[in-house]
Chains A and B, each alone.
Chain A
Amino acid sequence: MKKTLRIVAAVLMVGSIAFWVAAGANRGWTKTRVPTKVMDTVTGLEGIEWQDKFVPGVDFLAAALLGAGLLAGVSFLVRTKSK
């Protein structure tokens, strides 16, 4: 149990950092929509189109690291079965 919790905590920590970095290491809040620019060739205007896309931010990273920390902390409270 103790070992499992620590493994899950480590996987959660490494996985969330890797996901955050792979998604662009956004140092702002988590985004669920991103703007993309669309050019209108007739008027020369640049329009903005919002597309649904999940971009994890520092709040996502903090929540994941907190979760990993809690799991690791709980693992220290679990008693090892005496043989």
Chain B
Amino acid sequence: MKTYLTVLSLITMAGMALAAPQTFDFKDPKGINNAGFKLDAPLESINGSASGVSGTVLFDPENPGATKGKITLATASLMVPNPMQRQHMLSDKWLDAAKFPEISFESKEFKNVQTTGDTTTAEVTGTFTLKGVSKELTAPVKLTYLKDKLGDRVPNQKGDLLVIRSNFTIKRSDFNIMPGQFEDKVSDSIELTLSIAGASPK
């Protein structure tokens, strides 16, 4: 009976360990992780992207709805094709990259979680911080759990990958970025596209 209980408790502990949330690091050695942004104003359209993605996400494949984490973007990594436009964008009048070097999103809650195979779709609510202003927002998110696929991406490493995709829109006026000014050239609405993969080495 004693042996039976010991074996049972060991199996339970092993099961708990396996089901524990994994930490995924989103610092991408391949430089693929990016956040795209698009501003479509009547007189001008601005398209760009940022590659300075970092952060960690706690993800449990058995319970994707309990996912928590924070993704950070280096403001200085924002890129647009025109050098003067980029200089203006990062200046103190617009994003003030020197004073506010990070843009971040910290998740609080996942709702409407639906999982099919390795893919989970949900609506994530969290705190989005831009130019020192934090606002709560809800965005659709798609999580794809790629078990044992880290080795395919980074040679000689074993582990899992978590891919996060999300599209949402913010208003620059909500974040004190030249509110009400130059809206014919720089749209108030900013469409953001997040395409990132995190690694959980074993």
Contact = CB atoms under 8 A, between A and B. Distances in A.
B163 A43 contact: yes
Contacts of A45: 32-33, 163, 165, 195-197
A29 interface: yes
Given A45-B163, A45-B196, A46-B195, A34 B81 contact: yes
Contacts of A32: 81-83
B30 interface: yes
Contacts of A34: 81
B81 A31 contact: yes
B81 A42 contact: no
A34 B49 CA distance: 11
- The interface size bin for chain A is 20 to 34
A59 to B, nearest CB: 9
Nearest to B154: A42
Nearest to B197: A43
Nearest to A29: B82
A40 B197 contact: yes
Given A29-B85, A33-B79, A35-B47, 7 more contacts: A42-B161, A43-B197, A47-B30, A47-B32, A47-B51, A50-B79, A55-B81
Interface of B: 30-34, 36, 44-45, 47, 49, 51, 79, 81-85, 144, 146, 149, 152-153, 161, 163, 165, 195-197
